Amino acid sequence: MVRKPIKDEVEIPEGMNAEIVGDVIKISKDGKSVEKKICYEAKIDGKKIVIECKSPSKNEKKLIKTTKAHIKNMISGLNEKYEYKMQICAVHFPMTVTAAGNEVIIKNFLGEKKERRAQIVPDVEVKIEKEFITIKSASKDKAGQTAANIERATKIKNRDRRVFQDGIYITEKQKGATR
Strands 43-45 and 167-173: unpaired
* Domain extent listing, the chain: 6-79, 82-173
| Predicted model pTM | 0.86
Q: Do domains 6-79 and 82-173 have the same CATH topology?
A: yes
Domain boundaries 82-173, CATH class: alpha beta
Region of residue 101 (phi > 0: left; psi between -120 and 50: alpha; otherwise: beta): left
Q: Decide: 52 and 59 in contact? Cβ < 8 Å.
A: no
Tens digits of pLDDT across the chain (179 residues): 678 888 889 999 999 999 999 889 999 999 889 999 887 778 898 899 998 888 888 888 888 888 899 999 999 999 999 999 999 999 888 999 999 999 999 999 999 999 999 999 999 999 999 999 999 999 999 999 999 999 999 998 888 888 888 999 999 997 654 44
- CATH superfamily of domain region 6-79: Ribosomal protein L6 (3.90.930.12)
